[in-house]
Structure 1
């Protein structure tokens, strides 16, 4: 009999591209996960994933099951949550506001604004590094709000079920060891980093590697991605001079590490607030975006390197660099 845990397994394998990583994410041993996968393949009557040295890639049958799982699982999770609310005697009529976030200066201010705008709302918060995944959850009715990022050169689709408010588009800075030969430069050419080892933080936006390859290709270089680690480990590696990486310009300073702008700002990141059109939150989308924007510029003012960059690149009389207008 098909169970929710089976669908979670195929979704995890698809998201991570690896049986080993999926097992870690789900808290299973790899043999146990492999056994369950074989059981599902017998149940569905065909192979769900092709496994080779590059990882696990879904077959046509696997893609069909994964797509259905992404729709079914959020509904099942919502059913469990609602049933628990009723069992505990809570007010099930209070609007549920489920929020997914990506690490940035925005989430706390947006949640605070939500509490003021919807004081009776039942607000919950979760982290989701993939903007595409957040949009899928919104479209499936499993979220009401997503605070996410995307690369302007790799924009995500805007499903009809979602209203998108663009908050601000920022330049990404390169993080270097303070002892790096280029650390004293005001701005650094991407081409001058051709011999460096790069880090892709595991908690970065899912398309970070693709974005890095794209901007390096434009500069005529091929990046060597040597590490895929958490942001904290990335900071330690950079501080020791072992690698470099891209960071948001509002990132907090760390001993031994400096942030420097790239000449021409080839790497950009867009901050976005997305709300489900059919949710009670939709009417407050513009106000949430404004709260996010105010929080962003408060954090920006704390970064010396970013303040200096803004001073060099903003137009006369302009307090902030222009952000793209909201798409609604």
Structure 2
């Protein structure tokens, strides 16, 4: 029978990247932890981690279990805390936490961390593509939390009413047809894309076109921005070889579309957690950012192209090394 302690073991191995480190974190001997891991693998019907001299890396099955564990465990912990609070007759009023999000690998992990930190909170989500608009809503008290992105070369203001936690800065890849003549390259130069038609997804950050023009100017070309369409239409145009666009390297794969790194290109995107300073959430900002960072790197591990890129490039302060 599956128990919470089993899920904690899987989560600890994923977070530490090592059975030895996970055992120390959980206060277990390594043989005891290995025994429990084998029991879970029999229960789930497959291997959860590949183990070698570099540590423990999750399999596709392991990634699925880990992601579910990150959702389930906070709810179980919150249930225990709530029951104890009720048993002691303490106040259980529920603060409203309004969160604005932008498409990224972060929102689910942040919501789970919120529920763990503030078990009685009522969390609501809304989509908001403009990071500037999110900051304005935070500053006026219309939001408590914003999960947003910005371009490092076009940073957004940091109003005094807001506390900003930078999660991770990632490279942006180009998305092009899998049949494109350049799709077989490990990396593509922007100059080789000079004659292509570009897409700006309509749900993209407001300054995306400006960012694209800046990085193309760096390469000595002028981008032909031909389409402003939904992300789904964008993928269809790309798969047919009619256009290209910039994508986050953690984006889910799509039939007929290839994601390739840009060689020597300053195209980057920064993921940010912003909280209203006067909100009760503010004191948990660092915890939310750490939960978001862990979720990001778990998603990064699923992309073979991104893993290869990370292997070829030295890590920086907010980049976790990813092995092949």
- Structure 1-normalised TM-score? 0.68
Q: Secondary structure at the match of 2:198?
A: strand
Q: Does 1:204 align with 2:204?
A: yes
Give runs of ≥4 in structure 1 deviating > 3 Å.
none
Aligned to 1:191: 191
Aligned to 2:222: 222
Q: Judge conservation of contact 2:172–2:246 (CA < 8 Å) in 1.
A: yes
Aligned to 1:36: none
Aligned to 2:4: none
Whole-angstrom distance in 2 between the partners of 1:147 and 1:315: 24
Whole-angstrom distance in 2 between the partners of 1:92 and 1:241: 56
The alpha-carbon deviation at position 122 of structure 1 amounts to 1.2
Aligned to 2:65: none
Q: Secondary structure at the match of 1:201?
A: coil
- Structure 2-normalised TM-score? 0.69
Paired positions, count = 231
Change (3 A) 1:92 1:214: farther
**Deviations 1:142-194 (Å, cap 9, x if unpaired)?**
00000000000000000000000000000000001011010011100001100
Uncovered stretches (5+) of structure 2, i.e. residues with no partner: 1-90
Aligned to 1:150: 150
- Cα RMSD between the aligned structures? 1.8
Equivalent residue runs for 1:58-69 within 5 Å: none
Aligned to 2:239: 239
Q: Judge conservation of contact 1:314–1:320 (CA < 8 Å) in 2.
A: no
Q: Judge conservation of contact 2:168–2:270 (CA < 8 Å) in 1.
A: yes
Equivalent residue runs for 1:1-328 within 5 Å: 93-315=93-315, 320=320
Q: Judge conservation of contact 2:94–2:120 (CA < 8 Å) in 1.
A: yes
Whole-angstrom distance in 2 between the partners of 1:201 and 1:92: 43
Change (3 A) 1:283 1:302: same
Uncovered stretches (5+) of structure 1, i.e. residues with no partner: 1-90, 323-328
More divergent stretch after superposition (165-174 vs 92-101): 92-101
**Deviations 1:224-270 (Å, cap 9, x if unpaired)?**
01110011110110000000000000001111110000011320000
Aligned to 2:50: none
Aligned to 2:58: none
**Deviations 1:287-310 (Å, cap 9, x if unpaired)?**
000000000000000001000000
The alpha-carbon deviation at position 93 of structure 1 amounts to 4.6
Whole-angstrom distance in 1 between the partners of 2:110 and 2:227: 32
